[in-house]
């Protein structure tokens, strides 16, 4: 009878260790994935920020400031400036279609402006020759 109880205890310990071991393995896998993801993000961020050469002074609301600070606290960026620059760049990428439309319209506007400048220049020349 004593031997049977010992076997049950041993089996119980093994059963308890197995789920604990699986949880530890899962935790280690999640941690490795998080580290790899953070490294990947950090590399993308460094690449994106490498070409920054224009300084802007901007004002943001409290919520945006909190989010920028979160990115710094998470270790993804060294400063709020870097996190803001990254988010601006990502926003521009995500709105590529909009910027294509805007660019097309601006080209048309610039063409019309040049036409107007030419008209005004011609009028001034004509008036100065007549006068």
pLDDT digits 0-9 by tens, 61-80 = 999 999 999 999 999 999 99
Q: Which residue blocks in 50-95 are alpha helix, DSSP H?
A: 62-73, 80-94
Give the per-residue pLDDT at 8.
Answer: 66
Domain of 37 in residue numbering reads as 2-94
Same domain, 40 and 66: yes
- Mean per-residue pLDDT over the chain, rounded: 85
Same domain, 54 and 107: no
CA dihedral 81→86→88→92, nearest 10 degrees, is 160
Cα(102)–Cα(54) distance, integer angstroms? 22
Give the per-residue pLDDT at 33.
Answer: 84
Q: Is-contact 19 50, C-beta < 8 A?
A: no
Give the per-residue pLDDT at 14.
Answer: 55
Q: How many structural domains comprise the chain?
A: 2
Give the per-residue pLDDT at 131.
Answer: 67
Give the per-residue pLDDT at 80.
Answer: 95
Same domain, 52 and 87: yes
Same domain, 109 and 55: no
- Name the stretches of the chain with pLDDT < 50: none
Same domain, 117 and 130: yes
Same domain, 73 and 29: yes
């Amino acid at each position: 009878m004593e031997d049977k109880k010992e076997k049950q205890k041993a089996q119980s310990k093994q059963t308890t260790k197995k789920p604990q071991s699986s949880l530890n393995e899962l935790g280690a896998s999640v941690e490795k994935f998080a580290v790899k993801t953070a490294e990947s993000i950090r590399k993308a961020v460094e690449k994106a920020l490498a070409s920054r050469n224009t300084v802007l002074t901007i004002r943001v609301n409290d919520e945006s400031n909190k989010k920028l600070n979160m990115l710094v606290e998470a270790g993804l960026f060294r400063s709020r400036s870097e996190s803001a620059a990254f988010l601006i760049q990502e926003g521009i990428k995500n709105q590529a279609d909009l910027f294509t439309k805007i660019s097309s319209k601006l080209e048309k506007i610039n063409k019309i402006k040049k036409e107007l400048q030419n008209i005004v220049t011609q009028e001034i020349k004509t008036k100065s020759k007549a006068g």
